[in-house]
Amino acid sequence: MPYNSKLQNSSRTGWKAVFAKMLIANRGEIAVRIIRACHALGIAAVVVYSDADRQALHVRLADEALPIGPAPASESYLRIEAIIEAALHSGAQAIHPGYGFLAERAAFARACRDAGLVFVGPPPEAIEALGDKIAARRLALATGVPIAPGYHGAAQSDETLAREAARIGYPLLIKASAGGGGRGMRIVQNADEFPAAVESARREARAAFGDDTIFLEKMLVRPRHIEVQIVADAHGNYVHLFERECSIQRRHQKIVEESPSPALTSKQREMIGEAAVRLARAAGYVNAGTAEFLYDESDGTFAFLEVNTRLQVEHPVTEAVTGVDLVQLQIAIAGGARLPFRQEDLKQRGHAIEVRLCAEDPVTFLPTGGRLTRFDLPGDIRCDTGVETGDEVTLYYDSLLAKLIVHANDRSAAIARLRTALDACAVEGVTTNLPLLRAIAAHPAFIIGDTTTDFLTTHEMTQHLPVSAPIPDEALLAAAIADVQPLAYGRAATRDPWSMLGPWRMLRTDMPLRYRDGESERCVRITEDGDAWRIEVDGRVYVAGVLEAHPDRLALRMADGRIERFGMTGDSKTRMLEWRGQRFRLMQASLESERLGAAGHSHSRAGLEAPMPGTIARILVHEGDRVAAHQPLVVLEAMKMEHIVAAPHDGVVLRLPYAIGALVAKGATLVELEEG
């Protein structure tokens, strides 16, 4: 839905566009958002794109689009020299970095300045003072802003960090100094976990930010995550635009944000806002930024976390309650304008909530990909998105598809509007977290405002997603076909859909399977039948051919000619299926042919599969090694985050099919492990 993108009181300020053309050094939803702001101000928008984004929405909407390199971000969106060259080639006078990628890189801001380009954001000196988490903690201490106990020293040896961790006490957090979005962050419960967690955090931080410096922080129990939007111009004027509560998170990344916070009093709101402005002033900050805090509701105390020296993903929440277009304001400040208001002019009006609709499994939170065969968002609220029906969702970048923002007179009315909006969403072709968002919006704890950072685990949200019952035969036969033939990631359907089955045909011609459906077990027997599959479900016989097969979706042609399409996530042990708008959970009770093993061996062989497409970052064992249950075997990197594949039981490593650096598809066997 188009939303009002005019800057509040813009006619009174007399602002005019000082830039004729601006380059947007980003992609997806935020690139689209900035394009619209540029157009509202009469500025031509130039974008860059990787090979994977050649047909992306931000490319289609821009006035000019320039190729920047291959799909991996390190070879495209993170190449400072290529982006500067593109801006100069296009004749742009300024660059807006959006969020993520290079937005908080002082080197990028400095490169813009050196090239005679205006960086729409803070000066590099302010980024260095606040964008570095360790430097920001030191500045907070110097300005009297409280911080959580921890270690932020320059000494980074393993011995120093272990000694400081013991002093701080467990549980604690390891954080990347250059980090954000949960990348490079690890929760450590005890000293035994600490060395491996440090190594993993460093590796992830180095891959995501090019800097593996870390610091330690005491972990607070059940805090709220409160952040304050700050804005400053180059003329010494500073204001805050109040707070946002962002406590509901998964993998340390926010999925629900709202303003005002239901927990703060007016006095607390004033206090935390003043602290954020004091910190920004001490750093010589200019443009938009966000100071983040943890709030302990039990004693009413705040602990400073970090400053995000950029626009936040959740900025629409603040725009809704203040009426200020933050992106246009950013551009105006970068052009030399003064703030058009004072602190006393700003008010929070009503209540706003934003949820992030992501291409990810709502149970495991692992990102998914594929083509959006349907992408319908509600038309009566603000929806910020970077995709449309028919677009391909790539796994190279962030999983965010859209942000849904509701605004109403009070919180209860906003929640009611949010629930209606979520029910109106329809997404097909790609698995999303939509069921989880609906469950959160309906949960009694959320409705009363009891939202802390452990909300999802405390209320076991992923265990209580709506699952339809009884499970239809179609879901069982789809699960059976997916379990006996590997699904080729990214493989397109051929002209003859029946010929697709050939390369995947298994040697087993008659396989019995059992699935647990609630408290009961369902028996499925699957047999090859020429170019199709013959599936018997509780005595009922079906014949189906594979029309299209991907790790996250499956299309079958039934014997009567109808085509059935399924979305799927998980693996053969626990598989989530979507069919005809319903969602089903199937657990495999037994797999007789695997239990017997090859040639009658008493030990079973397990193929540990990649839960998502990614790159092999580390291999922690060798072929022939004996391993214990839960021992880490392989580290898979995807979306700049690490996923550890661990042994499900004691056993012997028979084979490691891939080397470090290999790109693997979802479902690829990473380790062959023999039990015993």
Q: Are 675 and 607 in contact (CB under 8 A)?
A: no
Helix (H), strand (E) at residue 590:
strand 582-591
Which tokens hold the place of 16? 């005019």
CA distance 588 to 355: 33
Contacting residues for 518 by C-beta, under 8 A, at least 6 apart: 469
Tell me the one-letter amino acid at 671: V
CA distance 562 to 386: 33
How far is CA 234 from each of CA 120, 123, 155, 238, 274, rounded to the nearest angstrom?
Answer: 12, 10, 35, 9, 19
Q: In Å, how far from its chain's centre is CA 608?
A: 24
Angle between helices 106-114 and 80-90 (to 10 degrees): 30
Q: Could you tell me what percentage of the chain is helix, strand and coil, using 3-state DSSP and rounding each to the nearest 5? A: 30, 35, 40
How far is CA 49 from each of CA 99, 105, 424, rounded to the nearest angstrom?
Answer: 16, 19, 31
3-state secondary structure of 188: strand
Neighbours of 468 (CB within 10 A): 16
For residue 71, give the DSSP letter.
S
CA distance 465 to 468: 10
What are φ and ψ of residue 265, in 5° steps? -85, 170
For residue 105, give the DSSP letter.
-
Residue 27 bears catalytic tag: no
CA distance 377 to 8: 27
Tell me the one-letter amino acid at 51: D
Partners of residue 288 on adjacent β-strands = 231
How far is CA 550 from each of CA 57, 257, 485, 567, 586, rounded to the nearest angstrom?
Answer: 24, 33, 11, 9, 19
Angle between helices 411-424 and 434-442 (to 10 degrees): 150
Partners of residue 512 on adjacent β-strands = 525
Neighbours of 655 (CB within 10 A): 14
Neighbours of 462 (CB within 10 A): 18
Identify the active-site residue in 310, 356, 417, 522. Answer: 310
Partners of residue 219 on adjacent β-strands = none
CA distance 450 to 103: 33
CA distance 307 to 137: 9
Query: How would you list the strands of the sheet with 663-664, edge to edge?
Result: 641-646, 632-638, 614-619, 663-664
Closest CA to 621 of 611, 634, 609, 610: 634
Q: Are 242 and 346 in contact (CB under 8 A)?
A: yes
DSSP code string of 368-403:
--EE-SEEE--SSSEEEES--TT-EE-SSS--EEEE
Q: Are 116 and 130 in contact (CB under 8 A)?
A: no
Which tokens hold the place of 255? 């999925």
Name the one residue in this structure whose structure tokens are 């002209």: 495
Closest CA to 471 of 462, 463, 479: 479
Q: Are 35 and 57 in contact (CB under 8 A)?
A: no
Query: Which residues carry out catalysis?
Result: 310
